[in-house]
Structure formats: C-alpha cells, structure tokens
Amino acid sequence: MAQVSATLLAGKQLVQKPGLYSKVKRILAGILDTAIEAKKLHGGLVPLEPPLAVHVDGHTVWYALDLDRPSATILVVEPASGGPTKT
C-alpha cells in the first residue's frame, strides 16, 4: 500500500492551510501509483530524481518518491510563484 508522509518542516507548512495536507496526500498517492505502473511498463525508465514538484491550491509542493517501498515524502511546501495549479 502506498504511503505518503511529510518532513517536520513540510508538516508545519501544511497545517497552515486547512485541507491542504489531505489534498496533497491524495494527489501524491495518485502520482505514486502512476509511477509504479509506469515503472512496470517501462522497465525502470521512469525519471524520479528528487526533488519533484507539483502545484496544489496556490502552493508548490516539493516531494520525493521511493518506488521500492512504495512511498512519497513531502519535503517542502511554499507559495507558488505562478503557473497552473491542481485542484
């Protein structure tokens, strides 16, 4: 089962906006599942060098994936400087 966790710093940043952690957790679980399937189909040719980023509700969420465990770790959350956001 996929696991999503946050560093201490990211946890503090996430609690500042109610509902953001649950939304980010859901999105990263989906990204992790997709990466696992892509790895199966492409034989390990999925680039996963951290940090990776996704935009959620006006924030840039930096994260790392580990497909062997499988897990996603939220590293840092910061206000987005623009660009598309996921909702």
The CATH number of the domain holding residue 39 is 3.30.2310
For the CA atoms of 86, 23, 73, 70, the dihedral, rounded to the nearest 10 degrees, stands at -100
CA dist 80 and 61 (Å) reads: 9
Express each pLDDT in 35-86 by its tens digit: 998 888 877 677 778 899 999 999 999 999 998 899 999 999 999 875 555 5
Domain of residue 15 covers 3-79
87, part of any domain: no
64, part of any domain: yes
27, part of any domain: yes
CB atoms within 10 A of CB 86: 12
- pTM of the prediction? 0.85
86, part of any domain: no
Residue 43's pLDDT is what? 73
Closest C-alpha among 81, 74, 82 to residue 20: 74
- Please give the backbone phi and psi of residue 85, each rounded to the nearest 5 degrees, phi first: -125, 150
Q: For residue 15, is pLDDT > 80?
A: yes
